[in-house]
Amino acid sequence: MGQDAHAPGREIASASARDRGGPEELDLRGEVCPYTFLKARLALESLPSGAFLRVVVDNPTSARDVPRALATAGHTIIACESTGDGAWSILARRSPA
């Protein structure tokens, strides 16, 4: 990849996650709503139906609003958990097309 994995809006671990069957991961630390929701939605909708996306945010408002907005858009929220380092991990499943 060669890019800073913690730069806002950068995908992280997508190739290795895909290789081991895990979810795609999108690091949105440093971003704020509505950008966190928009980027998460675009990333999720670029995946095949039923695929999983883990979104990492460090903004309390995003941790609250991104799961609600993705669910409203028809996707399934599996979990939204604090990672213990000031960030939250949101696991979502893309809706059927």
Active site members: 33
Quick check: 97 and 47 in contact, CB under 8 A?
no
Q: Residue 79: enclosing H or E segment and its boundaries?
A: strand 76-82
Phi, psi of 13, deg, nearest 5: 60, 20
